[in-house]
Amino acid sequence: MAHPMNDTLNCYLAEAFEFLDIDAEQAFLLSLPNREVRCELPLRRRDGSLRVFQGYRVQHNRSRGPFKGGLRFHPDMDLAHAQVLASLMTWKTALADLPLGGAKGGINCDPHDLTLTEREALTKKFVRQIACLIGPDTDIPAPDIGTDERVMAWIYDAYSGDFGDEPAVVTGKPLELGGSPGRTQATGRGVARLTEWAAQRHGIDLAGARVAVQGFGNVGRYLCESLARQGARIVAIGSSGTTLYNGDGLPVSRMLEQAEAAENHLALTDMDVRAEQLAVDAVLTGDVDILLPAAVECVITEQNAADIRARLVVEGANMPVTAEADRLLRERDIPVVPDILANAGGVIVSYFEWVQNRQRMGWTEEQVSDALDRHLARAWKAVSRCGAEAKLSYRQAAYAVAVRRVDRAMRLRGF
């Protein structure tokens, strides 16, 4: 069964196909995944019981280069979910003009419910199942929700055991194992960069702007840090358990220190910070200048789109706004910077990591940060130009640019 996110994605793609005058057959090919895999992963638990998990990998499109995309460890992970997220990766890598395609995968497990040893065993079992499908020239996984650099190190190890030392098979590795400086912070910092440019375009002064961020994970954390450094007041931060609110601005760097000290296992509710605790959804509807949903998908829907009070929305998460809500926000003249543009920083630095691994040579953090800015600025310029010329929203323009590039690559390669 298709995932509800599928309707939203199909809506965005249909608009792009129509705008680009792409015929139905080609549109069908552009929409379909190239290959999908589901595998059984039996795991003997510490208490002796046997639990069977499912692993997934969907390879969506490789017209512009090897498949690329994250691995998610989450109880809700399934094939339909992976299909939508893999397709998003195809458009994201194309918009960033990387020589890569799109993929996504994961395991339907709750990583917090597994011991470290169990997590390692499950990851390595999964790699054994998909080893013939991944590789530095075929498909390069990366972290996503529920996975981190430690999981990437296990993937590197398991793959290299069979195929010889190959750090470029996976990105998001620890620095000691060929990871790139700046990869952990890249997505959040990239979202902050896009926020800065969009705010400037729409007459919002970032210094002193009131900002709400949903999510204080890998993306939300460094996004908050970057914006706070530019003088923004982060008045609300939301998680799955609460919304922390302080009208004078939350002490972001102190919260970041606490999260890092607890190896990212500290809930917002347990943080030592002076703030009111509000309902989970309050982070979305507060009186702010900029709203950054950077947690999970489909949180802004037709049910709450009318309650959004922000003057600008920037998508840190993948698909946090449904197509219907996107239309309602457009009618209210609230600009939305879409995920495939705003959160592309992660895959861009993943690409840099892959390049460094292949060259067997490391870059400095400054080189990574300068190159990231250049890539993001190019994508922002391409979207802005297309949007201005054809009177399209940021999202419509982003899909138009990305789909045009993939369509062109497919036609040039032939069928």
Which residues contact ligand NAD by CB under 6 A?
Answer: 143-145, 187, 214-220, 238-240, 280, 294-296, 316-318, 343, 346
- The three-state secondary structure class of 398 is helix
Closest chain position to ligand NAD (CB)? 217
In 3D, which of 247, 255, 205 has the Cα closest to residue 230?
205
Element (DSSP H or E) covering residue 337: strand 336-337
Q: At its nearest, how many Å lie between ligand NAD and the CB of residue 343?
A: 4
Q: At its nearest, how many Å lie between ligand NAD and the CB of residue 23?
A: 32
Q: At its nearest, how many Å lie between ligand NAD and the CB of residue 150?
A: 13
Element (DSSP H or E) covering residue 93: helix 79-95
Q: Identify which of residues 22 and 94 has a Cβ nearer to ligand NAD in the complex.
A: 94
Q: Are 126 and 41 in contact (CB under 8 A)?
A: yes
The rounded distance, in Å, linking the Cα atoms of 224 and 142 is 23
Q: Identify which of residues 20 and 298 has a Cβ nearer to ligand NAD in the complex.
A: 298
Backbone angles phi, psi at 323, to 5 degrees: -60, -40
Q: Identify which of residues 151 and 219 has a Cβ nearer to ligand NAD in the complex.
A: 219
For 404, residues 6+ apart whose C-beta sits below 8 A from its C-beta are: 20
In 3D, which of 401, 337, 412 has the Cα closest to residue 93?
401
Active-site positions read: 104
Q: At its nearest, how many Å lie between ligand NAD and the CB of residue 148?
A: 8
Q: At its nearest, how many Å lie between ligand NAD and the CB of residue 221?
A: 7
Q: Identify which of residues 158 and 224 has a Cβ nearer to ligand NAD in the complex.
A: 224
Q: Identify which of residues 180 and 218 has a Cβ nearer to ligand NAD in the complex.
A: 218
Q: Are 219 and 250 in contact (CB under 8 A)?
A: no
Cα dihedral: 368, 371, 372, 373 (round 10): 130
